[in-house]
Amino acid sequence: MRTILAFVLTLSSFFSFAQQEQNANTTCDSTILRSFIAQLAEDSIAYDVILSQYMTIEKPNNDIYDYLEASLGEIRVNLMNKKLDEITYIAYSKMPKKDIKDIDIESLNPDNIYFLYYRNKQMLAVYLEEEKIASFTLVANGKGKAHFVLY
């Protein structure tokens, strides 16, 4: 009986530690995203500064940078009349199934996907890699699903 009890306690400790580690990762990711949004909302911070600080770009070229700067501009305009403290950051795993059924995450780590909402309306979807944004672009793949485009 003691052996079973010890096993159960060990197992529950392991799951508790794993949950704490996942919560720590979620908190870190949330901090990164909050900082990104705060800096992007600040007009005085240039897009290239935000790109270098918060984005990971696998295949850099002028077209990608032009696209990303234009996208950041659109997000900045979208943030203009919003209270940043009212933006909520929801992990993929916490999303209702009906809201993510049309997203094909392919081989991406679902623990690194977040959705930003303002007053219950989705405003941005983000995929993180190595504590930087790898994508905030979801596009339809022609099969009724959307997927993230990595830069």
pLDDT in tens, 49-66: 999 999 999 999 999 999
Domain count of the fold of the chain: 1
Task: List, for residues 3-45, the tens digit of each pLDDT value.
Answer: 453 433 343 444 444 444 444 455 789 999 999 999 999 999 9
- What pLDDT does 141 receive? 84
Task: List, for residues 67-112, the tens digit of each pLDDT value.
Answer: 999 999 999 999 999 999 999 999 999 999 999 999 999 999 999 9
Boundaries of domain holding 61: 2-148
pTM of the model: 0.81
Mean pLDDT value across residues 111-139: 97
Q: What's the number of CA atoms in the CB half-sphere (13 Å) around residue 66?
A: 3
- What pLDDT does 106 receive? 94
Mean pLDDT value across residues 127-143: 94
Q: Who wins on pLDDT, 128 or 6? A: 128
**Which DSSP string corresponds to 74-124?**
HHHHHHTTS-GGGEEEEEGGGS-HHHHTTB--TTS-GGGEEEEEETTEEEE
